[in-house]
Amino acid sequence: MIERIKKAADIIKNAKRITVLTGAGISKASGIPTFRDKNGLWRKYSIEEFATPQAFKENPKKVWQWYNQRKKLIKQAKPNKAHYALAELEELFKDGFALITQNIDNLHRLASNRRIYELHGNIFQTKCLVCDKVYLDEDVYEDEQLPPACRYCKSKKTRPNVVWFGESLDTSMIKKAMGLAATCDVFISIGTSGAVMPVAKLPQIAQYMGRYVVEFNADYSTISMFADDVIIGKAEETLPLLVSLIKRGRG
């Protein structure tokens, strides 16, 4: 594995534009469960019951209770060494760096990344369906307060500002992400199973455009076949090593 990380570092250190894609695997070491691993969220909860517009329409309070619980857990989580490694990478490559994440846990921002595209939204944002405002909402609520009243118009018709199954992503955001995959020199996929479209298309676009694609994952995924190199290991161990080798290589 070290040899592959060295090879990846050698290529990345000379790159101008780096696009990174992260999934739940990067936050596992921060205590946030993934979705499809053996004790992942979708092994315990049904998507249809908690993460679809239909579920929310039928029982907004129940969906809010589930997200409120997740918010409570995520609020205690801290970025881990993998998150901080990506913050260092952004420091090194500045506006040549872009971070596309499927995670809604805000940990990349806490680790001080700034060029972040949150394709699936953010659990600490609430959207009002009456006045359309989206606002930061870090509060964890008591049951009787759910659904939380809109900060602006006080309506109770609010929802977590996350993307549910069956919903389409913000078109301008996904177009931007596809552009970042197509025009980068290096595409790095970290901790994602590649189970969800259209995000799983991004490494394919990068590979199709002849970019160097490298995957950091604890296991092989559907993205592995599009990667020039696959580095199997825990991101919280492999990424800090990658970044230290890049820094050394750039002198």
The CB-of-65 to ligand APR minimum distance in angstroms stands at: 19
Residue the block writes with tokens 């500002």: 161
158 binds ligand APR (CB under 6 A): no
Is residue 108 flagged as an active site residue? no
3-state secondary structure the chain: CHHHHHHHHHHHHCCCCEEEEECHHHHHHHCCCCCCCCCCHHHHCCHHHHCCHHHHHHCHHHHHHHHHHHHHHHHHCCCCHHHHHHHHHHHHHHHHEEEEECCCCCHHHHCCCCCEEECCEEEEEEEECCCCCEEECCCCCCHHHCCCCCCCCCCCCEEEEECCCCCCCCHHHHHHHHHHHHHCCEEEEECCCCCCCCCCHHHHHHHHCCCEEEEEECCCCCCHHHCCEEEECCHHHHHHHHHHHHHHHHC
The CB-of-125 to ligand APR minimum distance in angstroms stands at: 15
28, 70, 120, 234: the catalytic one is 120
Considering only residues 102, 106, 122, 126, which one is a binding residue for ligand APR as defined by CB under 6 A? 102
Q: From residue 28 to residue 67, what is the string marking binding to ligand APR with x (rule CB under 6 A)? A: xx----xxxx--x---------------------------
In contact, 103 and 120? CB cutoff 8 Å? yes
Residue among 54 and 155 whose Cβ is closer to Zn ion: 155
Q: From residue 183 to residue 222, what is the string marking binding to ligand APR with x (rule CB under 6 A)? A: --------xxx-xx--------------------xxx-x-
Which entry of Zn ion, ligand APR, none binds 128, CB below 5 to 8 A by partner kind? Zn ion
70 binds ligand APR (CB under 6 A): no
Residue among 119 and 150 whose Cβ is closer to ligand APR: 119
Residue among 25 and 147 whose Cβ is closer to ligand APR: 25
2 binds Zn ion (CB under 5 A): no
Which entry of ligand APR, Zn ion, none binds 91, CB below 5 to 8 A by partner kind? none
Q: Which residue is nearest to ligand APR (CB)?
A: 25
For the annotated catalytic residues, the residue numbers are: 120
